[in-house]
Amino acid sequence: MSTEKTLKGVKMHYCVGCSHTTVHRLIAQLIDELNIREKTIAAAPVGCAVLLYNYMNVDVIECAHGRVPSVMTAIKRCLPDRFVLAYQGDGDLAAIGTNETLHTANRGENITVVFINNAVYGMTGGQMAPTTLPCQITTTTPMGRGENYEGAPIKVCELLATMDGPTYIERVAVNNREDIKKTKEALEKAFQCQLDGKGYSLVEILSMCPTGWRTDLKDSLKFIDKMKEYFPLGVFKDVRSKR
């Protein structure tokens, strides 16, 4: 095994306060700690993390918007010994890719999904996402998201936990040191779930997007607390001991 580190020493393009940076770092640390760099294939989504391959020293495949779970299903089935990591935003996973997400989870594919919930479409300018909070102002909901018109936010963990297929589903956040620690622990459980051949795992991470939210860093941290009221943190499904 090479001793080369997973995180490349290059400047990232993400905005100040964006949580993609933190999550990339946690993932890269874990890949190094678990010594799986050479067997990892990551999927980059369409969204702000589209340039993931610039930052991680692993094989990365670029997928069409929302199609990450289907591409990763194919890769894992053809190369079952590889560690397959799906990385997706909320627009990618829960809007254009809802269908793929539901069926991949329902089939219990042995893949790991990292789901970045920042409550907006970041890359395209802060439009409403399926996870945008009620009353939240975005560029496409200038009066605030109205539940009667735009519908209520989709709770992905709760939804997937109703299915028999998934093995491990947890929601975490990265807005303070304690939550970042818990996020790493959740990611490790999800990674190990796949490495042990136990099936589908998903970790949803409540993430900051100060640019898309039009907030400063202080208010962005407060907004995560608001997100936690609607999207409670915790484990929604864990049947690892039964598989």
- CB 142, CB 148: distance < 8 Å: no
By CB under 6 A, residue 46 contacts ligand TPP? yes
In the complex, least distance from residue 20 CB atom to ligand TPP, rounded to whole angstroms: 7
For residues 104 to 133, the per-residue mask of contacts with ligand TPP, x marking binding by CB under 6 A and - elsewhere, is ------------x-x--xxxx----x----
What are all long-range contacts of 49-54, with beta carbons under 8 Å and residues at least 24 apart? 49/20, 49/24, 49/87, 49/89, 49/116, 50/123, 51/13, 52/24, 52/87, 54/8, 54/10, 54/12, 54/13
- CB closer to ligand TPP, 67 vs 198: 67
User: Which residue, 90 or 204, is less far from ligand TPP as judged by CB?
Assistant: 90
Taking the complex as a whole, the smallest distance from the CB of residue 207 to ligand TPP amounts, in Å, to 8
CB of 241 to ligand TPP, least distance (A): 33
Q: Which helix (H) or strand (E) holds 127?
A: strand 127-128
Contact positions with ligand TPP (CB under 6 A) in 52-111: 65, 89-92, 96
Least distance between ligand TPP and beta carbon 26 (Å): 16
* Residue that is written with structure tokens 């990385």 in the block: 87
Angle subtended at Cα 78 by Cα 203 and Cα 4, rounded to the nearest 5 degrees: 65
CA separation for the pair 42, 23 (Å, rounded): 14
Q: By the 8 A CB rule, do 138 and 120 touch?
A: yes
**Count of positions on this chain that bind ligand TPP (CB under 6 A):** 18
Give yes or no for residue 47 binding ligand TPP (CB under 6 A).
Answer: yes
Residue closest to ligand TPP, measured at CB: 89
The yes or no reply on residue 29 touching ligand TPP (CB under 6 A) is: no
Q: Min. distance of Cβ 114 from ligand TPP in angstroms?
A: 12
Which residue, 36 or 86, has its beta carbon nearer to ligand TPP?
Answer: 86
Q: Which is nearer to ligand TPP, 132 or 167 (CB)?
A: 132
3-state helix, strand, coil in the chain (%, to 5): 40, 20, 40
Q: CA 84, CA 104: separation in Å to the nearest integer?
A: 13
Half-sphere CA count of 138, side-chain side, radius 13 A: 25
Shortest distance in whole angstroms from residue 89 CB to ligand TPP? 2
Distance in angstroms between the alpha carbons of the first and the last residue of the chain: 29
Q: Which is nearer to ligand TPP, 145 or 237 (CB)?
A: 145
Instruction: List contacts with ligand TPP (CB under 6 A).
Output: 45-49, 65, 89-92, 96, 116, 118, 121-124, 129
